[in-house]
Amino acid sequence: MVKILLGFVVLLLILYNVFYVLKTSSENKKEFYTNAFSSKVVSSNLFEGRTVEFQLENGLKLYFLPPINNKIEIGDYIEKKKETYEYKVFRKNKSNEYNFFSTYNFEDIQ
């Protein structure tokens, strides 16, 4: 009986984790599309071992497939217009000024 109960608890925790990830991902995508913003990339981490997640100052997240190959870096500046998934990445040059680097689409994990 204890084994069945433990198995049930483990299953519930797995289902909760999957639901939570899907919910937060959906909210991030909706907010990303809706809003116009300018924000800096402040940190990154390996997400679920399959993608690299970059966190922006405004709380939104971007995802890239490894290897990143300098597509985006901590300290880059992101600019996006409202109601689009496209965003521009700006990177500092040696003079400490931001220059246009690339354009990406949020829906296409690069």
Q: Collapsing DSSP states into helix, strand and coil, what is residue 35? A: coil
Residue 96 has pLDDT above 90, yes or no: yes
Q: What pLDDT does residue 109 have?
A: 64
Structure tokens that stand for 108 in this block: 């296409």
Q: Is 66 helix (H, G, I), strand (E, B) or coil?
A: coil
pLDDT at position 99: 96
Domain segments of the chain: what residues? 2-105
pLDDT at residue number 65 = 83
Contacts 24+ apart (CB under 8 A), 50-58: 51/109
Strands (E), 22-82: 37-47, 51-56, 61-64, 77-80
Burial-class residue 56 by CB neighbours within 10 Å (0-12, 13-18, 19+).
Answer: buried
